[in-house]
C-alpha cells in the first residue's frame, strides 16, 4: 500500500492505494483504500496495519486446510476489523472536516437571497418538510383518539395555531425557493 497524490482542480489530493494482480486477467490493478488528505503519517500507517490484518483474517477464513472453528473465528475477526476500519475512517473524516472546509475550494455556492450558503436553503426546506410530516402524523393520531366533533375550543385553538405556523413556514420556504 502506498499514498498516491493526484492534482484535482489545481490542488494535490492524497489517496491510499493498494496494488495487486487481477485473478481472472492477470493484469496489475490498483484499489482505492481511503482519501487521506490531511492525515498524519501515523494515522496512515495505522490504517495500513488494520487493512493488512483484515487481509490476513479474510485469507484465514477461506483456507482449505483449516478447521471449521478456525475459519469461523477468522471470519468473526475479519468482521470486527471491517467495523474497526469503518469507524476509524469515519472518525478521521469528522476530525478533519473543519480544517478542510477552510482550505477547500469546492464549496457550495452562495444563494442570492440573504447571503447564506445554498446548503442553508436546503436545510430550511428539509426542516419544513419534516415539520409537515410530524404535524400530519400527530394530527391523524389525534383524530383517531378523539373525533373532531368532541373537541373543546382550546383544542381547536391549538390546531388552528399549529396550522397557521405551518402556513407561515411554507410561505417562507416558497419565498426562498422562488427564482430571483
Residues 172 and 84 in one domain: no
Tens digits of residue pLDDT in 90-129: 888 767 655 444 544 444 444 444 444 555 556 666 777 7
Q: Return the percentage of the chain with pLDDT > 70, whole number.
A: 78
Asked which of 48, 74, 103 is the last residue of a domain, the reply is 103
Alpha-carbon distance 118 to 122, whole Å?
A: 7
Given this model, what pLDDT does residue 113 score? 47
Expressed as residue numbers, the domain containing 83 is 2-103
Asked which of 47, 79, 103 is the last residue of a domain, the reply is 103
Given this model, what pLDDT does residue 111 score? 47
Question: What pTM was computed for the model?
Answer: 0.48
CA quadruple 78, 83, 89, 92: dihedral sign:
negative
Residue 80 located in a structural domain? yes
| C-alpha cell read off for 2 | 502506498
Tens digits of residue pLDDT in 122-164: 666 677 777 777 777 777 777 777 776 777 777 777 777 777 7
Cβ atoms within 10 Å, residue 51: 17
Residues 125 and 58 in one domain: no
Burial class (CB in 10 A: 0-12, 13-18, 19+), 35: middle
Nearest by Cα to 168 from 132, 134, 141: 132
Residues 29 and 97 in one domain: yes
Residues 95 and 149 in one domain: no
Tens digits of residue pLDDT in 26-60: 888 888 888 888 788 888 899 899 988 988 888 88
Residues 79 and 26 in one domain: yes
Amino acid at each position: 500500500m502506498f499514498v498516491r497524490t493526484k492534482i484535482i482542480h489545481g490542488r494535490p489530493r492524497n489517496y491510499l492505494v493498494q496494488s495487486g494482480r487481477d485473478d481472472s486477467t492477470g493484469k496489475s490493478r490498483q484499489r482505492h483504500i481511503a482519501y487521506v488528505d490531511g492525515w498524519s503519517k501515523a494515522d496512515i500507517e495505522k490504517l495500513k496495519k488494520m487493512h493488512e490484518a483484515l487481509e490476513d483474517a479474510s485469507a484465514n477464513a477461506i483456507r482449505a486446510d483449516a478447521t471449521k472453528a478456525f475459519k469461523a473465528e477468522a471470519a468473526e475477526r475479519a468482521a470486527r476489523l471491517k467495523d474497526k476500519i469503518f469507524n476509524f475512517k469515519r472518525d478521521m473524516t469528522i476530525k478533519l472536516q473543519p480544517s478542510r472546509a477552510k482550505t477547500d475550494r469546492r464549496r457550495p455556492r452562495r444563494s442570492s437571497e440573504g447571503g447564506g450558503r445554498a446548503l442553508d436553503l436546503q436545510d430550511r426546506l428539509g426542516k419544513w418538510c419534516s415539520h409537515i410530516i410530524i404535524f400530519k402524523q400527530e394530527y391523524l393520531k389525534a383524530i383517531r383518539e378523539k373525533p373532531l366533533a368532541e373537541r373543546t375550543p382550546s383544542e381547536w385553538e391549538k390546531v388552528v395555531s399549529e396550522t397557521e405556523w405551518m402556513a407561515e413556514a411554507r410561505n417562507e420556504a416558497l419565498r426562498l425557493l422562488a427564482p430571483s
